[in-house]
Each structure stands twice: as C-alpha cells, then as structure tokens.
Chains A and B, each alone.
Chain A
Amino acid sequence: MRTLTRLTLTESRLFLREPAAVFFALAFPPILLIVLGSIPAFREHDPNLGGARVIDLYAPIVITLALTMLALSGLPQLVATYREKGILRRLATTPVRPVTMLGAQLLMCTAMAVTVLVVVLAIARIAFGVALPHLVPAYVLAYLLCVLAMLSIGLLVASLAPSGRGAGAIGSVLFFPMLFFAGLWAPRETMPEVLRRVSDFTPLGAGVQSLSDAAAGHWPQLLHVAVMLGWTLVAGGLAARYFRWE
C-alpha cells in the first residue's frame, strides 16, 4: 500500500512535468467549457432541447473529454513506453511487482480525471449557472463506470501496441470517433435517431447520457450501465489476456 502510494505520487509528479499532457488533459477541457459558455446563444434555453441550454449539455461531454485524453492518449503511451524502455522489467527485479506500477498509473489517471471533473463542475456552476448534479450517488456511479470502461480500453491499447509511439497512434485513431459519439461535435440530443442509437452502445455515449441523467436527478438507464460494464469486461479481459511485461 505504501509502495503503491509512493509510485502514484512519483507518476503524478512525472505527469505534471509534461507540459503538453498537462495542457490537453487538465487545462484544455475547462478552457473549452469557458469558450462554449462565452457564446451567448449557448446560454439560451432552447425549446428543441426540452428547454435545456447547450452549455448544460456540454458539461458532461467536457468531463468525458478529459477522461478520454487520459485514458486513450496518456495511459497507453505511458504503459507502452515503460515496457519499451525496460522500466517494467527493472521493477520485476525488485521486491515490487510490476503490476503495482500499472495500478499506480491507473490511480494517477483517475485522480487527474476526477480533478478535472471537479473543476469543470465548479466553473459550470459559478460562471454559467449550470446546476450541480441532483442525484450525487448516481452521478458518482455513472462516472465510475465510465472511468472503468475507458481505462480498460486504454489498457487494451497498451497491451496490443508494439511501442509507445504505436500506442499513441492507436489512441488517437480511437479518440475522435469515441468523442464524436459522446457528442463533442453535436450533443446526443441533437443527433439523428440512428446516430443516437449507435451512441448508446459506445462507452462515452452511454457515459455522457448516464451523467446527464444523474445530473437531472435520475438513475442511469440499465442499457447504459450494461454497455459500460460490457466494455469494461471485454476490453479489460482482453487486456489481461494480451498484456506483455516486456
């Protein structure tokens, strides 16, 4: 436990020394929220959206954007680079098992993602009057399921990628379609019926909808919970099956 904490702190320190990673994962999502919120039309109630405002829809999308940056471009590249450089092997020669390092990296990504979540919710509330989640336990559950699904996919990418660069490339290929279905370019409420149906079955589509439901005071739909758990089990299972330490 003490070792896991130490490794997590060291990994976080190293993460904070990468300006590009810090900008895209920690700073960019809140900045995007502020930019969107500065557009007056996005702060108007829209009868087409059931009386909601565009900025209300974007809070959960921006939150999953940060998570996706960490899970698909940060984590796989980090793990694959550590493998490529023999850092995991070196750890295997010490009393610490390399799986502890994996745990530290997952914890670090989760901690960073939660930090952005809190910052985004705070900015949305203070600057743009977006209501805080009504059903907090449901919100936490929805977020946790989304984190699990995305980190499992990130680990699967790390398992299959031949190198750190390869992991970065696979991560960015997955990045855009995932966020498209999360509604980054057009929120789910504005998607045609068919697209929204597809989105229901993607981890971020299910995640964003569950966060929105919980924010509005409802428990996530069974379908979305099942979709996120399904991605976690399939991607996590495959990652465990194909993971290589060297």
Chain B
Amino acid sequence: MAIIEVDGLVKRYGEHTAVDGVSFTVEQGEIFGILGPNGAGKTTTVECVEGLRRPDAGHIRVCGIDPRRDTGELKQLLGAQLQESQLPDKLRVAEAMELYSSFYAEPTDWRQLLDVLGLGATLGKQFRKLSGGQKQRLSIALALVGSPRVAVLDELTTGLDPQARRDAWDLIDDIRNRGVTIVLVTHFMEEAERLCDRLAVIDAGRLVALDSPAGLVSIVDDTQRIRFRPSRPMDHALLTDLPEVSAVERAGGQLVVTGSGNLLHAVTSVLARNQIVAAELRLEQTTLDDAFVALTGRAID
C-alpha cells in the first residue's frame, strides 16, 4: 500500500519553476531515495510532502492526508529532519528531547532513542557544545521522537566524516527495521546505492527516472572499461579489431579499452596470444554515477 502519493507536483518561486510535474509513490516500509544535484528541486519536493510549502499544482497524500488541509494529524505521523536546522545554543540535549516529546500524542522513550543514536552520554550537554555529527544525530532523534510512521531525512549525512556517515547509514537501516517508512533526500551516490530500495532521480525540477539502484544502472547499456599497463608497446589494431571493443585510448603508460559483452575475456586472450603481460589490470563496470550521467547528461557534483 502506498503511504505517500505525489501526483503532478508543481512549485514555482516567482518566475522560477523549482518542481515541474513530479509524480511518485512511496510504499510502506521502504527506504525511498530522492537523488539529484543541488538545486534540482529535491528539498522543495519533500517540503511540500511535509506541508511546509503549498504546491502550485498537483495532488499529495501522506497516510491518506492532504498536507495542505492538515490540522495537526499528519504532523503526528510524519517526522522531518530539515537541512541546516539548529536548536537554541544553550538548550541541553535532555531538555530538547523532553520538550519535543511533549509535542506528540504517543512519543517514544527518548532516553532509549538517544542511546541507540549514541547520544546517551550527552544528556546534559548544551547544543552549541555538540560536534557536527552529534548535532546531526540529535536532529534525527527529534524527527523520530514522536514515533512517526514516515520519516523524511534531508541531506542527512552532509558534513559528516566517513565513519559518522557509515554509522548514520546503519542507523537508517535500523529505523526501517522498526517499520518506519523513510524518504531520504541525498546527492551522494554511494548513500543512495547502499540504502535505498527505490530511487527517484530528479533533475531541474523533473523526475528523470524511478527505479531500484540496480534497475537504474541497467537502464544504461552495459559499457565496461578495462585499464592496464602493457609489458611492451602494442599495436592498438590488435584490440580494435575485436568485435567486443569499441575504443582504445592511451592514458599515460596505460591503455583504456572500452567495450561491451565478454570484453575482459576477449582482451586477455589477445594479450596472451601476443605474449604481452597486462600489469595493473582493472575492470570498471557501470555505476549509479554513470547511470546518472546517462540520465541527466552531466555528473552530479
């Protein structure tokens, strides 16, 4: 059953159309990613879902509620973690949790939540004294304290170091395992690939693709690339003659062979026949990055 339905969403800021006819549905219990470069309209889209912005056109339902007509019921069911939202400098962690949990009809046990998030030792700390990662985790805790059915997490791991980012990913998996549906806004490919069941790729306000990460990769043809350093100079024609090879380029002392099908086998057979040893051999396959470039015509960053 779809827990979020977005149909034909349009949002304009003056002359600029930030979101232009985006439609998707999010199923209960999945981690749904919204992927796109900065300024693509990802945040505007989720802000309309959260009821923070009024769409200019289109139809949104979250748990069957229209965010525009919400009288507080939706806010009980949806927890949101906003980009760049802070707390008062001198508010202590425990005070923030106590205050925010008092806003909800059925709050979760916030002490336990902080323990799970690794913030159990920071109860008496003031917000300004927390590290970037701790602030980010507190922000997640505040989004989850009302026991929401849907959590919208916007650029959750931006500004975190690689270890903190991996911890945050484990945490999201954990939250989903408790039955919370998660909408994850991100511009990190690795994050999207690792966490999301399905991904909506948004570019310049439009939905350009909607599929699982593996599905998106397979949309792009299965181009492969082989890099190696030949043990002696070789005639490129030996390789370009192969039906599997589409191009051969020299990059420093290395050759880069692009092609498809059983490329690796074809190339190594030719090398073996000519007694050439391939050093530093690497095979590169299509990634979500390549899929993104193919879908939008440019790299994400």
| Residue A94 CB within 8 A of the other chain | yes
Residues on A with beta carbons closer than 8 Å to the beta carbon of B52 = 89, 92-93
Query: Nearest CB to that of A9 among chain B residues?
Result: B99
Q: Tally A residues with Cβ within 8 Å of B.
A: 20
| Chain B nearest CB, measured from A204 CB (Å) | 29
Q: Tally B residues with Cβ within 8 Å of A.
A: 26
Q: Are B91 and A90 in contact (CB under 8 A)?
A: no
| Chain A nearest CB, measured from B75 CB (Å) | 4
Residues on B with beta carbons closer than 8 Å to the beta carbon of A18 = 90
| Residue A85 CB within 8 A of the other chain | yes
One of A3, A82, A86, A87 near B103 (C-beta < 8 A): A3
Q: Are B100 and A86 in contact (CB under 8 A)?
A: no
| Residue A17 CB within 8 A of the other chain | yes
Interface of B is mostly: loop
Residues on B with beta carbons closer than 8 Å to the beta carbon of A13 = 95
A39, B78: Cα distance in complex, Å: 63
Known: A87-B85, A93-B80, A95-B76. A10 touches B50 (CB 8 A): no
Known: A17-B90, A18-B90. A3 touches B102 (CB 8 A): yes
| Residue B253 CB within 8 A of the other chain | no
What 1/0 mask marks residues of chain B from 57 to 74 whose CB sits below 8 Å from any chain A CB?
Answer: 000000000000000100
| Residue B259 CB within 8 A of the other chain | no
Q: Are A90 and B88 in contact (CB under 8 A)?
A: no
Query: 10 tightest A-B contacts by CB?
Result: A86-B85, A93-B80, A85-B86, A95-B75, A17-B90, A90-B85, A94-B103, A95-B72, A96-B103, A95-B103
- Give 12 A-B contacts (CB < 8 Å), ordered by A residue: A6-B99, A6-B102, A14-B90, A17-B90, A18-B90, A85-B86, A86-B84, A86-B85, A92-B52, A93-B75, A93-B79, A95-B105
Other than A7-B99, A87-B88, A94-B103, give 4 A-B pairs with Cβ distance below 8 A: A3-B103, A14-B88, A90-B82, A93-B75
